[in-house]
Amino acid sequence: MARFYDVDITNPLMLGTALYPSPAILKDAFKVSGAEIATVSLRREQGAGQDFWSLIKSMNLRLLPNTAGCYSVKEAVTTAYMAREVFDTPWIKLEVIGHTDTLQPEPFALVEAARILSEDGFQVFPYMTDDLVLADRLVEVGCRVLMPWGAPIGSGLGLNNEYALKTLRNYFPDIPLVVDAGIGLPSHAARAMELGFDAILLNTAVAKAQDPVKMAQAFSLAIQAGALGYQAGPMEVRDMASPSTPVIGKAWL
């Protein structure tokens, strides 16, 4: 069970609410996934109107508003304040984009925005690269959850740098870590959980699947399997073969 700030979460799958073919499919996908947390964009809520907002409220989810599409500290902070008022939550998924093509976070602006928001009572979930120094700076300014990417948003590439992700897990054993962005297959999510991550946040892999509802269920099962595998204590990897059948009792000819 993960604990995000003062909230215990039983299901480690977190889903976005964009790109679904229809509101009904969105609702069904969330239902089969068991996800308790939904990311929502202030821009989407404003664009989709009251029907979308009514649907989200009817699903009884914990909301994680985001600052998607922001490219500066001022823009991200202003959007966060607006989101807190609209969605009535101190949670904010903080995104400050620094590169248009890769949507890679701008590390310096991200730390500054996280500092400003944390000092004003926000509970910040920073979308970040898998950089150890950046993670340390974000913790220093008040972040109690870290959300490193697996790969660029919407790419479906999976975990591009397992070494960096393992390093984050080892250096921050008491900080909840969520892989956010780049997950394309249930096996990618299972692998992240096998590395000891606390949760997975994804959107495109489910919403743009041919059958989003089946894909949501597949991710839910994969994440459960990965988490159980990590908790069970996997066997050590060996360079050479090791027999599983004992030699004792073997017939000698």
Q: What is the pLDDT of residues 187-230, one digit of tens each?
A: 999 999 999 999 999 999 999 999 999 999 999 999 999 999 99
Structure tokens at 55: 């649907």
Res 96: pLDDT: 96
| Structure confidence by residue, pLDDT tens digits, 159-186 | 999 999 999 999 999 999 999 999 999 9
Q: Is residue 218 part of a domain?
A: yes
pLDDT recorded at residue 48: 55
> What is the C-alpha to C-alpha distance for residues 82 and 46, in angstroms, rounded to an integer?
11
C-alpha 213/C-alpha 49 separation (Å) is 24
Q: d(Cα 6, Cα 15) in Å, to the nearest integer?
A: 20
Is 204 annotated in a binding site? The answer is yes
Q: Is position 245 within any domain?
A: no
Chain mean pLDDT for the chain: 92
67 labeled part of a ligand binding site: no
**pLDDT for residue 155 is more than 90:** yes
Q: Is residue 242 part of a domain?
A: no
Residue 132 resides in a domain: yes
Q: Which residue range(s) make up the domain with 185?
A: 3-232
Q: Is 239 a member of any domain?
A: no
Q: Is residue 246 part of a domain?
A: no
* pLDDT tens digits, one per residue of 57-108: 888 899 999 999 999 999 999 999 999 998 899 999 999 999 988 899 999 9
**CA–CA gap between residue 114 and residue 119 (Å, rounded):** 8
154 annotated ligand binder: yes
Q: State the catalytic residue, choosing from 27, 31, 57, 93.
A: 93
What is the total count of domains within the chain?
Answer: 1
Residue 127 resides in a domain: yes
- Considering the chain, what percentage of its residues have pLDDT values greater than 70? 94
203 is in an annotated binding site: yes
Look up the CATH number of the domain holding residue 50: 3.20.20.70
Q: Is residue 210 part of a domain?
A: yes
The question of whether 214 is a catalytic residue gets the answer no
